[in-house]
Every structure is written in C-alpha cells, then in structure tokens.
Amino acid sequence: MESPAQVRQQIRAGRWRGPTAGLALGYAQANLVVLPQAYAYDFLVFCQRNPKPCPVLEVTDPGDPVPRHAAPDADLRTDLPRYRVYRDGELVEEVDHLRGLWREDLVAFLLGCSFTFEAALQRAGIPVRHLQCGCNVPMYVTNRPCRAAGPFAGPLVVSMRPVPEDQLPRVFQICSRYPLAHGAPVHVGDPQRLGIRDLDRPDYGDPVPVRDGEVPVFWACGVTPQAVAQRARIPLMITHSPGHMFVTDLRDEDLAWG
C-alpha cells in the first residue's frame, strides 16, 4: 500500500492522472477550491454557515501552495491529478497542474470528502452502490437554500446512496462520527421532500438503482460550494476535477471528533 506522500509524488511526476478513489487507503482525501483572496472571507463564512456541505479541513495563507496542516510536504499546484479552471463561473479548461496559473493572491480551501465515510461504511460491511456499479455517485440540486454569505448563495446539493432499511441505524451511527466528511445524512426517504423529481436523472454524476427493501439516503455534498461559487461568477476559481482529489496525510480518523 502506498503512502499519501508516495501517491502525491507519483502525481507530481506526471505518472498518475486518473481518479484517486482507493489510493492511500485509510487517509482522508479532500476537495480543493482555490479563490482570489478578495473572495476568501465570504467563502469561509459561507463554509462556516453551511458546515455539512462545506467541512473545512484547511485554509492556506494567501499565495502559499502548501497545506501546512493536511500535508506539509505537498504542493497544491502539482499534487492533484487534474484541475478545473472556472472564469466568471464558466468552466474554461482542465489542466494537469497550476504552475502557470498560481498567483500570490490565491487562497486554497481543502474540504472533507465523502470517500472518508464511504470507506468507513465499507469497513463495516455496508456496500456502497455506485462503487459496486463502478460509476459516479448521483448528485441532486435540492430545494433547500444554503445560508448565504456575501456573493455566495444557492441551493444545497446532495449525494444519494441507497441503503437497506435494516442498515439505516448503522449508517447513521458511522457517518455521524465524521462531521468533517459531511457527517450524518440530511434526509432519508421521499426525494420529493428535497424537491428532487426523478432519482433517475441526477444533476451531476450517474443514476444508480434503488432496490426492493432499500431507501434512498441523502448526504450534503461537496459539490455545493463549487456550484455556489459558479453561480456567484467569481472571476477565477480553480477546483479539483471530479474524483481527482487531493490525498492528505490526515488519517480518516482525524476527520472524526471531537
């Protein structure tokens, strides 16, 4: 098994450009959001006001590409396999590194990721449907507004995983332990209660089947802050590409409390 530092080294050297699921098992992976400093305060307040979709693991100093808490020997400009660049809310390119894009006024936010609780569910013998299916988790825009902060406002985005009814208590128990990885589900059952019309048509990711005896369970999703920053038409935002996360030195257990 490779260490987080080894994984990042492979990525930095250009030898890994794929998704990071399953790499450096036992270590937390993180969503990346990079914004100009002028927007960093409002974004951080947005995260404070919406901790379930936006659990903050780290905020870097302006211009500093090193996440000194989560991985002090890493470089956020080179250590993710793929990045997305948004200008004025529009996706303009996908890139392999940020060497030419980095600026002294950029602040990086690392946000906890669902991989952490999915690994915990699997350790407990609870299967995760989209992993079984080999596809992306289905994600939906809901009718629940986030609490706004400055220009950042918009609806909560949730991910959905079908759970057998008799495993619901265990799922709540396990996920509640990881508030920095979205924590306990935000809703169980009828998707209409979240304003979701058709589970087969997710707004992001891929649909997965909900089988007899299973209920759809919804978690606050890390796509929320990106979606909100896009709506705000921030001049420049850089994120990881979906599934191409930052591998931290934090153990999954470091995202537990308290």
Enumerate binding residues for a second copy (CB under 8 A). 40-41, 44-45, 48-49, 56, 58-59, 61, 68-69, 147, 149, 175-179, 183-184, 257-258
Smallest distance, a second copy to C-beta of residue 130, A: 22
Residues ≥6 apart with Cβ < 8 Å to 6: 24
**What is the number of alpha carbons within 13 Å of residue 102 lying toward its C-beta?**
16
Task: Say if residues 234 and 26 touch (Cβ distance below 8 Å).
Answer: no
Tell me whether strands 106-112 and 56-59 are parallel, antiparallel or unpaired.
antiparallel
From the CB of 247, what's the least distance to a second copy, in Å?
21
Closer Cβ to a second copy, 58 or 252, answer by number = 58
Q: State the minimum distance, in angstroms, from the CB of residue 171 to a second copy.
A: 13
Q: Which is nearer to a second copy, 41 or 91 (CB)?
A: 41
Considering the complex, what minimum distance in angstroms separates the CB of residue 32 from a second copy? 16
Q: Which is nearer to a second copy, 81 or 185 (CB)?
A: 185
In the complex, the smallest distance separating the C-beta of residue 58 from a second copy, rounded to whole angstroms, is: 8
Nearer residue to a second copy within complex by CB, 20 or 115: 115
Contact 29, 116 (CB under 8 A): yes
Please state, as a whole number, how many other Cβ atoms lie within 10 Å of the Cβ of residue 109: 23
The tokens 């492979």 sit on which residue? 10
What is the side-by-side order of every strand in the sheet holding 214-220? Answer: 139-145, 155-164, 214-220, 187-188
What's the Cα-to-Cα distance from 58 to each of 111, 133, 173, rounded to whole Å?
7, 32, 26
Q: Cβ closer to a second copy: 69 or 87?
A: 69
